[in-house]
Structure 1
Amino acid sequence: MRTTIINILCILLILLCLSGFVSSPMALILGFLFTLFLGKPFEKFIGQTVQYLLKISVVGLGLGMYLMETLNTGKEGFTLTILTISATLILGFFLAKILKIEKRLGHLISSGTSICGGSAIAAVSPVIKANSKIISLALGVVFFLNSIALFIFPAIGHFFHMTQHQFGLWAAVAIHDTSSVVGAALEYGEESLRVATTVKLARTLWIIPVSFISMFIFKNKEGRISIPWFILFFIVAILMNTFFNLPAVLTQSITGISKRLLVVTLFLVGTSLSIKDIKQTGARPFVFGIILWIFISVGSLLFILDIAVK
């Protein structure tokens, strides 16, 4: 009976998030508080549901973008992407030794921090044959830091008087998971959301070369490389909006629904967080993740602001 009541309350909050009256950070807080006081709802289905909703939402956002704008944005973030991914993975390799973090755990946190959070961890973990405990620890660190980023990044952006374009680029580089990237960018503005989504998805493609590098480092020739196919559908949506005369009411409706689905996604992400999981992770992996996160956040921020000055 209790489980049924919890699930019904969860559905009601999902509908509230869909209504448009709940912001991205508030959705995350609602999800966290829900789990804290009532327990995890639909525990067996949340993980997959978050992934599906995120992918559907991102593809829907593609119908609000145009090809040349997207190419120019992706090109602008290319250099920063290479620099930050390479530097973060190298720093993570040596920092894991200094802090005596288990090699696979350190590599997963480094991959999640440098590319795209949980998606990168999920893709790289089978390649390096990480066990479920290591995967859970890495996800715990990344999801916790994602939650913090969703709140503090917009405030930092306003403090430095960043344009929407600059903030979108910074969020895509410095925030781990795609859901938190689009959540923070959505709070900052429409242009910020377009830039952040484009750069983040281009960055997500680096899962493939990093997976191959991981296979070499851990000497696993039988590893299975996971390719983020939903990015192809995102590109198709952009091409459709660019070359076909789609009714504005259609594209605006789909992008509007996609934004609300992103808020629902963040609520569900919040329900997957728990104080118990955070405590079980321990201090050293968090210290490791925080140092990497500060490195990539501050480094990319200085790079972006320096370009603006020049």
Structure 2
Amino acid sequence: MGNLNAKALSVTEQADLQQKNLEPKPSGGLWLGGIAFTIVVAELGYALSKVPGFDHVGPLACAIVIAVFYRQFFGYPEKLRAGIQFSAKRFLRFAIILYGLKLNIDIVLHQGLGLLARDVGVIAFAIVLTVWLGKLLKAESTLSLLLGVGTGVCGAAAIAAVSPIIKAKDEDTAIGVGIIALVGTIFSIVYTILRPFLPLSAIEYGIWSGTSLHEIAHVALAGAPAGPDGLAIALLAKLGRVLLLVPLSFILMYWMKRKNTSNPGDTKIEFPWFLIGFILMSLLGSYVFGKSIPVSKTALDGVATATTFILTSAMVGLGLNVSLRDLRTKAARPLIAMLITSVVLSIVTFFIS
């Protein structure tokens, strides 16, 4: 009888622990194992991105695909959850901070103010149209918003930055990043094919690419056929959109607080401290590194590569939360909304370039 009571008590205690989320924390070895797991899959994503056919998609999308399929065939590695979630959350924020080095504020402010005003219109247009179309198609609203931000600003980095602000699910973030990488790659390839047949000068083509394509990598891919001048103006137009990620994030914070006033228990919005880091790194990259403090191009390229790898590891953690069944049911309508927006955005910016 004593043993039975002990067993019953043990079951009760376990139920209480689960109910109160007081389960014992995983050991340090398992925590590190989860981080190592995301790094290994990220390396596989890099390897896959070198394969012909996947080389234009990029390591982020490749790593997400591997993570999604791993979950479907082998399930979520529960014992490694703590480390995986650390990668998904902390690595993501750290990568956004490092991403700030890619933004040269000095060049944007001195040479791209005219483009910056155009970029404001592009971002507003992309977000409003994608969200409106998503609503029209009865798509998942948060995912539509993420895709609108990714289309208007700077792809995966923008989605990763605003996700915690609008309290998006990890699954929605991963789906959004995967969609934006795929669609952006297709558009950038189409741009390079159309380049010889378009009645645009190198500068005009560069402005068109920089104001309409999704990721910096997509702009670089599409802008290269226009020569060094066309590529330079394309990247300048794109950097203006990256700069606008900061004010957009604070606008979304304000919008979320106003939206949640009807639910007093859900009005607290976590301040995106990583954006402060993003701004500081941008200032360092613009006014310190290479000027007051000499830094070689090799070192900066190494940081850029490390940033992409860290972001790729974070995408693995997010991808493991994606269910293929949910992907089929959730992604189709937001994808259609984003595709329509991307096509319309390309046409409109073509005629004003």
Which residue, out of 36, 61, 64, partners 2:102?
A: 61
Matches of 1:71 and 1:283 in 2, distance apart? Answer: 42
Of the two, which has the highest radius of gyration?
A: 2
Mapping of residues 106-117 of structure 1, within 5 Å: 106-115=140-149, 116-117=158-159
Matches of 1:4 and 1:241 in 2, distance apart? Answer: 37
> Residue in 1 aligned with 2:313?
268
Matches of 2:340 and 2:65 in 1, distance apart? Answer: 30
Structure with the greater relative contact order (CA < 8 A, sep ≥ 6): 1 or 2? 1
Give the counterpart letter for 1:46 in structure 2. Answer: S
Return 5+ residue gaps in structure 2 as ranges: 1-28, 150-157, 199-204, 225-230
The answer to whether the aligner puts 1:45 opposite 2:86 as a matched pair is: yes
Taking structure 2 as the reference length, what is the TM-score of the superposition? 0.63
> Residue in 1 aligned with 2:170?
136
Matches of 2:45 and 2:132 in 1, distance apart? Answer: 43
> Residue in 1 aligned with 2:280?
233
> Residue in 2 aligned with 1:250?
295
Matches of 1:142 and 1:28 in 2, distance apart? Answer: 12
Q: 1:276 and 1:145, CA in 2 relative to 1: closer, same or farther beyond 3 A? A: same
Shift, 1:72, TM fit: 3.9
Deviations 1:108-130 (A, max 9, x none): 223212223232221012xxxxx
Structure 1 range deviating more: 284-293 or 83-92? 83-92
Deviations 1:186-231 (A, max 9, x none): 4445634443233133145212223323433443463326343234
Count of residues paired in the alignment: 279
Mapping of residues 102-251 of structure 1, within 5 Å: 106-115=140-149, 116-125=158-167, 135-161=169-195, 163-171=205-213, 175=214, 181-188=215-222, 189=224, 191=232, 192-218=234-260, 219-220=262-263, 222-224=267-269, 226-227=271-272, 228-237=275-284, 239-240=286-287, 245-246=291-292, 250=295
| Equivalent residues of 2:60, 2:315 under 8 A apart | yes
Q: Over aligned residue pairs, what C-alpha RMSD do you find? A: 4.1
> Residue in 1 aligned with 2:349?
304
> Residue in 2 aligned with 1:27?
59
Deviations 1:48-76 (A, max 9, x none): 213312321x2222359624124343223
Q: Percent identity at matched positions?
A: 9
Give the counterpart letter for 2:59 in structure 1. Answer: A
Q: 1:194 and 1:24, CA in 2 relative to 1: closer, same or farther beyond 3 A? A: farther
Matched residue of 2:268: which SS? coil
Return 5+ residue gaps in structure 1 as ranges: 126-133, 176-180
| Equivalent residues of 2:119, 2:241 under 8 A apart | yes
Q: 1:33 and 1:112, CA in 2 relative to 1: closer, same or farther beyond 3 A? A: closer
Shift, 1:290, TM fit: 0.9
